[in-house]
Structure 1
Amino acid sequence: MSKVAFLLASGFEDSEMKVPYDEVIQAGHQAEIIGLKKNETLLGKKGNVSYAADKAISEVKASEYDAIVIPGGSSPENLRLDQDVLAFVKEADRAGTPIASICHGPQILISADLLQGRTITSYPPLKDDVVNAGAEFKDEEVVVDGNYITSRTPKDEPAFVRELLKVL
């Protein structure tokens, strides 16, 4: 049984959180929602789902988790300037921990300066940002490069979840 951190702020793309979260739990793994503040209610941008943060980013270490998931929407934009979030993903990357990010999720990897020399995908309008951060962009449903699993949009969720569950 693996322990998976979901980095989340309000404005996330509802299904990009709900689908992987539910699938991780259904597969028998433990999922924890990590937000900026413990117990904060986090709302999906479509209003279909909401979650409460299990822990604050300031009280966790990446070494406590077997994988990290970064849902898209505007959640990554709301997290990417927080130094604890950036330190968390950098620590996870140094350890080789799987980091699965979908849609706008790679914005956090860009801000953490982790994309140099990597091959990823993302929400297609982020292509220039991804390339400017030093990565090769591929317009594919899922791209796995080392410990990174990336996908573009909600329609890619089946492939995204499949690759995430493989590493767990």
Structure 2
Amino acid sequence: MSKVAFLLASGFEDSEMKVPYDEVIQAGHQAEIIGLKKNETLLGKKGNVSYAADKAIREVKASEYDAIVIPGGSSPENLRLDQDVLAFVKEADRAGTPIASICHGPQILISADLLQGRTITSYPPLKDDVVNAGAEFRDEEVVVDGNYITSRTPQDEPAFVRELLKVL
């Protein structure tokens, strides 16, 4: 089975973490939560769920994972300035590892300068940021472009999870 990294900081959109995480585990895959600090408690923005980081970003290599999931909310904003996070997603992208990001998740891809020539979707208010980063924006429930799987909002979670599980 596959090993999936969930990049997470506090302020994540509760369901955008919980639904894919639970579905990945239920499908028999291994899921690890990667945060800025190991064992740090990470709280969802709605307060419905919390997780502890299994590992710190500086302790892992992208090559250890078969896919990466970036939940939305304000978690990506809290991660995008960390150079280890950016190096991790760049390494994954170079290897063609699937990167699934939902809602504000593409903010990390923007900061890692990985969207040039790509086609993605995101939380609609990020459209200008996505386009300015060189990507084509599509307002669709899920967009798959090469190794990228992107979705807009919690309402798109079924399509997001479906495409994630396909690549696993």
Say whether the fold is shared (TM-score over 0.5): yes
Query: How far apart are residue 50 of structure 1 and its match?
Result: 0.0
Cα deviations by residue, 1:91-121 (Å, 9 ceiling, x for unpaired): 0000000000000000000000000000000
Query: How far apart are residue 48 of structure 1 and its match?
Result: 0.0
Counterpart secondary structure, 2:128: helix
Cα deviations by residue, 1:62-103 (Å, 9 ceiling, x for unpaired): 000000000000000000000000000000000000000000
Long gaps (5+) in structure 1:
none
CA distance in 1, matches of 2:99, 2:27: 18
The number of residue pairs the alignment matches comes to 168
Query: How far apart are residue 163 of structure 1 and its match?
Result: 0.0
Cα deviations by residue, 1:30-86 (Å, 9 ceiling, x for unpaired): 000000000000000000000000000000000000000000000000000000000
User: Structure 1 length as normaliser, TM-score?
Assistant: 1.00
CA distance in 2, matches of 1:63, 1:153: 28
Cα deviations by residue, 1:9-43 (Å, 9 ceiling, x for unpaired): 00000000000000000000000000000000000
Query: How far apart are residue 131 of structure 1 and its match?
Result: 0.0
CA distance in 1, matches of 2:138, 2:124: 9
CA distance in 1, matches of 2:13, 2:58: 24
Percent of aligned pairs sharing the same letter: 98
Query: How far apart are residue 148 of structure 1 and its match?
Result: 0.0
| Shift >3 Å, 4+ stretches | none
User: Structure 2 length as normaliser, TM-score?
Assistant: 1.00
CA distance in 2, matches of 1:111, 1:59: 21
Counterpart secondary structure, 2:100: strand
Counterpart secondary structure, 2:163: helix
Query: How far apart are residue 133 of structure 1 and its match?
Result: 0.0
CA distance in 1, matches of 2:138, 2:126: 11
Match of 1:5 in 2: 5
CA RMSD, aligned part only?
Answer: 0.1
Long gaps (5+) in structure 2:
none
CA distance in 1, matches of 2:48, 2:141: 24
Query: How far apart are residue 139 of structure 1 and its match?
Result: 0.1
Query: How far apart are residue 2 of structure 1 and its match?
Result: 0.1
Query: How far apart are residue 138 of structure 1 and its match?
Result: 0.1
CA distance in 1, matches of 2:73, 2:121: 15
Match of 1:21 in 2: 21
Query: How far apart are residue 137 of structure 1 and its match?
Result: 0.0
CA distance in 2, matches of 1:51, 1:28: 19
